[in-house]
Amino acid sequence: MKDLSKVRNIGISAHIDSGKTTLTERILFYTQRIHAIHEVRGKDGVGAKMDSMELERERGITICSAATYCDWKDHSINIIDTPGHVDFTIEVERALRVLDGAVLILCSVGGVQSQSITVNRQMTRYRVPRVAFINKCDRTGANPDKVIKQLREKLGLNAVPIQVPMGLEGDMQGLIDLVKMKAVYFDGENGDKIRIEEIPAKYKEECDIKREEMLDAVSMFSDELMEAVLEGTPTEEMIMAAIRKGTLSLEFSPVMMGSAYKNKGVQLLLDAVNDYLPCPTDVENFALDLDHDEAEVKVTNQPGDPLLALAFKLEDGRYGQLTYVRTYQGTLKKGDSIVNVRTGKKAKVGRLVRMHSDEMEEIEESGSGDIVALFGIDCASGDTFTRGDYNFSMSSMHVPEPVISLSITPVDNKAQDNMSKALNRFTKEDPTFKTYVDQETLETIISGMGELHLDVYVERMKREYKAEVTVGAPQVAYRETITQRAEFNYTHKKQTGGSGQFGRVAGYIEPLEEGEYEFVDQIVGGSVPREYIPSCDKGFQKCLEKGSLVGAHVTGVRCAINDGASHAVDSSDIAFQLAAMGGFKEAYMKAKPVIMEPIMKVAVEGPTEFQGSIMGSLNQRRGMIIGTNEEDAYTVIEAEVPLSEMFGYSTDLRSLTQGKAEFTMEFATYRPVPKSVAEELISKAQKKDKK
Amino acid sequence: MLKQELIEKNPIRHLKGESDAKESSRMGLVMARAGVGKTALLVQIALDSLLNDKQVVHVSVGQSLDKTKLWYDDMFKDIAEGCKLDNAAETHDSIMRNRMIITFNESKFSLAKLEERLHDLVQQNVIKPSCMVVDGFDFVNGDRAVLEGMRDLAKAMDLQIWFSAVSTDGVEVPASGVPAPCSGMEDLFNTIVLLKPVSQSECIDLNIIKGSAAVSKCGKLLKLDPKTFMIREDCK
């Protein structure tokens, strides 16, 4: 069994295009998992190892977080490569859930960009300790000091450099390690020959100052070091122990630098991963006890204890369904029988593999804290596995509601079959991707977190499942809600032939501040018999599915019943359901319903000279500009814009700013649409009804 | 309560500049010890303009956009709740459209940049402010010339500008009544107020050092509710 203190489960996270994949590629090379380096957009056409999906290679971005295993100086490291685009944030969040530590990559020129802020917030939410790596120090305009300042100001991290670069931009020679006070050079064609020398005289002074600053910051975490610093005798071990302690407590973030592309500093980063990031037993993980109202229980990480494993990612590969699991407690062995806590189904562990992007290595067992993949296990992502003796679940992950949808129509019968297979797979893999059939138009609708999100799935359908589909115009997920209280008193009566139907309900509906729906039973004296009260509830819920304004989902409603009448023979479950539905419809229009639309928080980052035109473009799209933040030559503009107006914005922005600006957006809230837009939506919905 | 009543209870209604100063281009200064509520009062002043359907630029030095936005949201919520404002959400959305926040990092603030930005905004038709609040301006190291430039800007753009400054404790207050670090700069401002918490009485004193109160009953002292920064009922 492996020593848990020598296991690292880390993630690599950053803004799009900061060089995550390139860095991962270098790590794999130095740890001898691969024997040649391929660039992301390389001319050799092989593509980087981690970008295993065809589509990713084509677009130069990483979509799925492939898990990869490597060894560095007697430590085992599991790396989860995470996507950088906001549309795929669920992937990032899911990856973070199973990580113990992370490397936050920043571009030395771009600094802290909007996505880094999102990722950093997510890491804080899941309490993931991190080290920062300032990449691309070879680029023109590289300025690590500026980036460190931004780390402090924008991300609120206690970021302190533990290295000093020797030269920047074109003439970067190597790095100086402030802990060991040595200069490190990376020789050889692939930078794999490390040469350690004394610090060159011209950097000596700068290094002394920076080391002093670093010691000041880290001695906060160790009294022993504090004393040693005062006496002038701090040892390497003491400093490293203090940095580790600070990092694990999330109150300190060591900053490393280098250039993955130019093969500088990657090995030192790997050392830092071993030295400063937590092992599985250093972090606390909690499971939810389903027998005791989801009470939190700390997992033990002991290999001898009952099994607790979380499936955090599914992939449909050449060999069937592949399930990535992280074991939190106990040991997972080949041939074991395990139970899916959600479904209660038993399954047998047929093959257990360790993943290396898309190649794999068969293993016999996986200890707690490890990340491995299983074959042929039927489950959805987020499911927990045990041996059946435990009714625990790893905490449910926060899943945002989809905000955009598209209709898709297969071009022929064959595509139809493949499409349903693909959709079945995708919905299991990705909880933010949903699909359903519109009962009226009989079209298949897919919904997700953004245009690109759905685009990628449509592309994958085409490539992986050969399902050619035509795509409808994107639709925004509108909602309806009411703005005031309204009463109803409705009698449902049907007495023509056969057994009759009778039910009367009275009550009111009113806006609900928080939550989607609430049912209140205020019946006294049994005017509605007990057994029919759930029927009323059911009736209301049916009404919520489709509002009378534009047929959107109705949310934020409290339905209460306080009076009614029944008939000894004619009352039935269905009669009361229909009465409740009639009552709701009667009150709904009186309650001044409004249409709500999803509002996105948009951050546009671009050179200052384009600021005016960027603002103009946001204004045109019914955007509400919240403000601007002035950086040196860059300005970040934040605005809240309705999602319906954001279609095609990336193209517009590009042409407006000569491709120099970029934007990210994430869902912010739902807000009522302005009157003019509401009227248009209603008349559109009415036209659709007539058809 | 209606929007109109909200406007009337705002303390800024009671602050008049010196007789010769035009209200539309006055310079105001709010001073207080750290943590008493300078930003709150500035936001209150801004909200007053917003409720009057005027447009406001909020310049924040050293604070993030999100934080500044939160100030407005919280302040508005407190006021709306405290005064039982009808259709609060609607009013909120409509007035916040007239607000624009510009944030600067502490070291990056410069008059030239701000001026350029304001001209941009007016030109692009994004916003035409009639009130600007500047929170976090560094008076200790600040240059008098920058403030003079601001005064010219106020005149040129027909803009009232309000600043906040942290008053230093323990230093003797000069005869003008304006504590450091702003003593000696009082000629630049038309109105200067000093906020002071009153212990155990759940209110904040607003001392008008320069300019006068419109309501004679209270003289140069107004009492504010510490939560909403509105004038308290007993002093109207």
pLDDT tens per residue across span A463-498: 778 888 888 887 788 888 988 899 999 888 887 767
Looking at the fold, whether A339 and A416 belong to one and the same domain comes out as no
B36 vs A211, more confident: A211
Look at residues A369, A371, A360 and name the one whose alpha carbon lies nearest to residue A312.
A371
Q: What is the rounded distance in angstroms from the CA atom of residue B172 to the CA atom of residue B165?
A: 17
- Give me the pLDDT at residue A65, please: 45
Q: What is the rounded distance in angstroms from the CA atom of residue B47 to the CA atom of residue A287?
A: 47
Instruction: Measure CA of the first residue to CA of the last residue in chain B; give whole Å.
Output: 17
Q: What is the rounded distance in angstroms from the CA atom of residue A483 to the CA atom of residue B124?
A: 36
Q: What is the CATH number of the domain that holds A604?
A: 3.30.70.240
Looking at the fold, whether A527 and A620 belong to one and the same domain comes out as no
- Give me the pLDDT at residue B32, please: 84
Q: What is the rounded distance in angstroms from the CA atom of residue A602 to the CA atom of residue A623?
A: 9
- Give bridge partners of residue A353 from the DSSP assignment: A362, A373
Element (H, E) at A148: helix A144-155
A364 interfaces chain B, CB cutoff of 8 Å = no
Q: What is the rounded distance in angstroms from the CA atom of residue B191 to the CA atom of residue B213?
A: 10
| Residue A685 belongs to a domain | no
Q: What is the rounded distance in angstroms from the CA atom of residue B198 to the CA atom of residue B37?
A: 13
| Residue A687 belongs to a domain | no
pLDDT tens per residue across span A167-225: 777 777 888 888 888 888 888 777 778 888 888 888 888 888 888 888 888 888 888 88
| Domain boundary pick from A541, A565, A591 | A591
A475 vs A93, more confident: A475
Between the CA of residue A396 and those of A99, A288, A290, what are the distances in Å?
16, 9, 12
Strand order through the sheet with A286-289: A295-298, A286-289, A392-394
Looking at the fold, whether A151 and A78 belong to one and the same domain comes out as yes
Residue A146: band (very low, low, confident or very high) from pLDDT cuts 50, 70, 90? confident
Instruction: Say whether A627 and B64 touch across the interface (CB within 8 A).
Output: no
- Give me the pLDDT at residue A66, please: 56
Instruction: Say whether A628 and B102 touch across the interface (CB within 8 A).
Output: yes
- Give me the pLDDT at residue A357, please: 54
**A154, A612, A631 ranked by CB distance to B124: nearest:** A612
Looking at the fold, whether A537 and A673 belong to one and the same domain comes out as no
Looking at the fold, whether A9 and A80 belong to one and the same domain comes out as yes
- Give me the pLDDT at residue B217, please: 46
B17 vs A627, more confident: A627
Looking at the fold, whether A385 and A417 belong to one and the same domain comes out as no
Alpha helices in A566-667 (DSSP H): 573-588, 611-620, 649-656
- Give me the pLDDT at residue A316, please: 66
Among residues 68-97 of chain A, which lie with CB inside 8 Å of chain B? none
Average pLDDT over residues A8-27: 75
Tokens for A105, please give them.
Answer: 């990559």
A285 vs B100, more confident: B100
- Give me the pLDDT at residue B76, please: 85
A563 interfaces chain B, CB cutoff of 8 Å = no
| Residue A281 belongs to a domain | no
> Nearest CA to CA, how far is A452 from chain B (Å)?
26
Non-local (6+) Cβ contacts of A317 within 8 A are A358
- Give me the pLDDT at residue A613, please: 84
Q: What is the rounded distance in angstroms from the CA atom of residue A623 to the CA atom of residue A645?
A: 8
- Give me the pLDDT at residue A63, please: 42
- Give me the pLDDT at residue B233, please: 58
Residue A608: closest CA among chain B residues belongs to which residue? B117
Size (chain B), residues? 236
Residue B220: band (very low, low, confident or very high) from pLDDT cuts 50, 70, 90? low
Tokens for A447, please give them.
Answer: 């919904």
Average pLDDT over residues A143-154: 84
- Give me the pLDDT at residue B139, please: 82
Q: How many C-beta neighbours within 10 Å does residue A260 have?
A: 26
Chain centroid offset of residue A97 CA? 9
Look at residues A328, A266, A311, A324 and name the one whose alpha carbon lies nearest to residue A69.
A324
- Give me the pLDDT at residue B171, please: 59
| Domain boundary pick from A477, A496, A513 | A477
Burial class (CB in 10 A: 0-12, 13-18, 19+), B26: buried
Q: What is the CATH number of the domain that holds A565?
A: 3.30.230.10
pLDDT tens per residue across span A439-450: 767 788 888 877
**Chain B positions in Cβ-Cβ contact with residue A628 (cut-off 8 Å):** 65, 100-103, 117
Residue A620: closest CA among chain B residues belongs to which residue? B126
Assess whether pLDDT exceeds 60 at residue A51: no
Among residues 107-146 of chain B, which lie with CB inside 8 Å of chain A? 108, 113, 117, 120-121, 123-126
- Give bridge partners of residue A317 from the DSSP assignment: A320
**B97, B101, B123 ranked by CB distance to A627: nearest:** B101
- Give me the pLDDT at residue A370, please: 81
pLDDT tens per residue across span A487-534: 999 888 887 767 788 889 999 998 887 778 888 888 888 888 888 888
pLDDT tens per residue across span B118-131: 888 888 777 888 88
**Chain A positions in Cβ-Cβ contact with residue B90 (cut-off 8 Å):** 672
| Residue A76 belongs to a domain | yes
| Residue A682 belongs to a domain | no
Tokens for B149, please give them.
Answer: 């430039």
Place of tokens 């319906």: A644
Element (H, E) at B34: none
Q: What is the DSSP string of A555-588?
A: -SEEEEEEEEE--TTT--HHHHHHHHHHHHHHHH
Looking at the fold, whether A168 and A293 belong to one and the same domain comes out as no
Average pLDDT over residues B35-49: 84
Among residues 403-432 of chain A, which lie with CB inside 8 Å of chain B? none
pTM over 0.90: no
- Give me the pLDDT at residue B207, please: 78
Q: What is the mean pLDDT of chain A?
A: 80
Residue A62: band (very low, low, confident or very high) from pLDDT cuts 50, 70, 90? very low
For residues A273 and A101, the answer to whether their CB atoms sit within 8 Å is yes
Q: What percentage of chain B has pLDDT greater than the value 90?
A: 3
Q: What is the rounded distance in angstroms from the CA atom of residue A172 to the CA atom of residue B37?
A: 49
> Nearest CA to CA, how far is A146 from chain B (Å)?
12
Find the domain containing A583 and state its range.
480-591
Q: Which CATH number fits domain B3-168+178-194: 3.10.129.10, 3.40.50.300, 3.30.1360.70, 3.30.420.40?
A: 3.40.50.300
- Give me the pLDDT at residue B236, please: 42
Assess whether pLDDT exceeds 70 at residue A610: yes
- Give me the pLDDT at residue B185, please: 78
pLDDT tens per residue across span A298-311: 777 777 778 888 88
Chain centroid offset of residue B156 CA? 20
- Give me the pLDDT at residue B13, please: 62
A49 vs A113, more confident: A113
Q: What are the phi and psi torsion angles at B94 (to 5°)?
A: -75, -40
Q: What are the phi and psi torsion angles at A620 (to 5°)?
A: -60, -30
- Give me the pLDDT at residue B18, please: 45
Assess whether pLDDT exceeds 60 at residue A8: yes
Ramachandran quadrant class, B184 (left: phi over 0; alpha: psi -120 to 50; beta: rest): left
Instruction: Say whether A630 and B113 touch across the interface (CB within 8 A).
Output: yes
pLDDT tens per residue across span B157-203: 888 888 888 877 665 666 666 777 777 777 888 888 888 877 666 77
Q: What is the DSSP string of A365-431?
A: EE-TT-EEEEES----TT-EEE-SS--EEEPPP--PPP-EEEEEEESSHHHHHHHHHHHHHHHHH-T
B105 interfaces chain A, CB cutoff of 8 Å = yes
Looking at the fold, whether A423 and A355 belong to one and the same domain comes out as no
| Residue A683 belongs to a domain | no
Non-local (6+) Cβ contacts of A625 within 8 A are A615, A618, A619, A637, A638, A639, B100, B126
Q: What is the rounded distance in angstroms from the CA atom of residue B149 to the CA atom of residue A371?
A: 62
Looking at the fold, whether A521 and A620 belong to one and the same domain comes out as no
- Give me the pLDDT at residue A61, please: 44
- Give me the pLDDT at residue A64, please: 47
Instruction: Say whether B121 and A613 touch across the interface (CB within 8 A).
Output: no
For residues A579 and A503, the answer to whether their CB atoms sit within 8 Å is yes
Looking at the fold, whether A582 and A562 belong to one and the same domain comes out as yes
Domains in chain B: boundaries? 3-168+178-194
| Domain boundary pick from A256, A276, A296 | A276
Tokens for A573, please give them.
Answer: 């479950």
Between the CA of residue A251 and those of A217, A220, A578, what are the distances in Å?
10, 10, 59
Looking at the fold, whether A649 and A662 belong to one and the same domain comes out as yes
| Domain count for chain A | 5
A154 vs A416, more confident: A416
